Amino acid sequence: MILGVPFEGGILMMQRFGRGIAGACDGPEAILRRLKGASYEILDLSEYQLKVTDERRDNSIAVQEDNETIIEAHRQIEKVAERFASEDRLISVGGDHSITYPLMKGVCKVNNDIKIGLIYIDSHFDLRPLETHVGVPGLISSGNPFFRIIEDPGIPVFPENMVAIGIHHSDTPIFNEMRQYADSKGMTTIYDRETVEIEKVEDTVGCVMDGVDGLYLSLDIDAVSGIRGVSAAASVGISREVWLQLVQTITGTGKVIGVDLVETSSRGNAVVDDDTVQLACDTIRTICSL
């Protein structure tokens, strides 16, 4: 059973800071209906979808209400993830990257007696600290799921057992802040340009994951070069071949207890780009076959 999580509140919150393109809530249905014969459940999260209008964008009361809505939506996602993980390994399709936090939290609740590692493939660090807008602090977005995971003592994942793969280097202040944070916590970072040497990447992942009993794998499809139907396309990215090889290698360890595939997006159009849906389906099929 595959879990569809059509939620993009994290992206809509980021739009208050001039970042993010809506449409990630359209990804799950576009992908899952293409997977012929697949058994799936799509969460009904319609009551938690935000509406960031011009009137609400910079209104402090509206910002606080929207943040509370995201928190409640994540609680509901966590409960369902816990149910799925108690029955089998969680395989989920989003949605924006903010959902990795509640999904992983639900998986960890079920697997609280083992040592868990986290691998995410993404062109972005998504380690932003919780931001403040119009005086409202602690805002949750699709840019801070891994910061939340590291800082939450209720998620028993040590940063030294975390690997970020496919990160695109930038000279912006926020990138340097996130890079320094990752380094200070002992995370391993593999940049997009380094993934051409796939054997070295696999060796690095193997070393970091040595001694870990279970793995959570988060896949942001915007890490792939040339992909258009995503929330924030990579300016360079990794190849499709490397993407699928890494998914196969990591899933093939037999340690994966939870997976999410996120950020497939219609970008506000009526449909999601067909090529992007096809790669997402190929990715899910690779995971399920192993």
137-165 pLDDT, tens digit each: 999 999 999 999 999 999 999 999 999 99
Mapping DSSP to helix (H, G, I), strand (E, B) and coil, where does residue 159 land?
A: strand
**pLDDT tens per residue, range 96-128:** 999 999 999 999 999 999 999 999 999 999 999
**Six token digits for residue 17:** 């800071």
Q: How many CB atoms lie within 10 A of CB 197?
A: 13
Q: What DSSP element (H or E) covers 138?
A: strand 136-139
Integer Cα distance of 117 and 36 in angstroms: 31
Whether residue 259 is predicted with pLDDT greater than 80 in this model: the reply is: yes
Integer Cα distance of 286 and 290 in angstroms: 7
Are the CB atoms for 187 and 164 separated by under 8 Å? yes
Per-residue confidence at 223, pLDDT binned at 50, 70, 90? very high
**Six token digits for residue 286:** 């690779």
Instruction: Pick the closest to residue 25 from 265, 278, 273 (CA basis).
Output: 265
Predicted local confidence at residue 209, as pLDDT:
86
Q: How many CB atoms lie within 10 A of CB 163?
A: 22
Predicted local confidence at residue 162, as pLDDT:
96
Predicted local confidence at residue 289, as pLDDT:
86
User: Which range among 16-20, 102-106, 185-189 shows the weakest confidence by mean pLDDT?
Assistant: 16-20
**pLDDT tens per residue, range 266-275:** 998 878 999 9
Domains annotated for the chain, with CATH where assigned, are: 2-289 (3.40.800.10)
Predicted local confidence at residue 208, as pLDDT:
86
Go through the chain and tell me how many residues it has.
290
Predicted local confidence at residue 262, as pLDDT:
98
Predicted TM-score (pTM) of the model is 0.96
Integer Cα distance of 208 and 157 in angstroms: 13
Predicted local confidence at residue 211, as pLDDT:
84
Helix residue spans in the chain (DSSP H): 9-14, 27-32, 54-57, 60-87, 100-110, 145-151, 173-185, 198-208, 240-251, 274-289
Residues contacting residue 139 through CB under 8 Å, at least 6 positions apart: 13, 16, 63, 67, 130, 131, 132, 133
Per-residue confidence at 36, pLDDT binned at 50, 70, 90? confident
**pLDDT tens per residue, range 67-94:** 999 999 999 999 999 999 999 899 999 9
Integer Cα distance of 270 and 280 in angstroms: 18
**Six token digits for residue 170:** 């930038």
Predicted local confidence at residue 76, as pLDDT:
98
Integer Cα distance of 94 and 64 in angstroms: 24
Cis-peptide, bond into residue 95, ω within 30° of zero: yes
pLDDT average, residue stretch 59-66 = 97
Integer Cα distance of 290 and 34 in angstroms: 19
State residue 185 phi and psi, 5-degree precision: -90, -10
Q: How many CB atoms lie within 10 A of CB 231?
A: 28
Predicted local confidence at residue 173, as pLDDT:
96
Mapping DSSP to helix (H, G, I), strand (E, B) and coil, where does residue 142 land?
A: coil
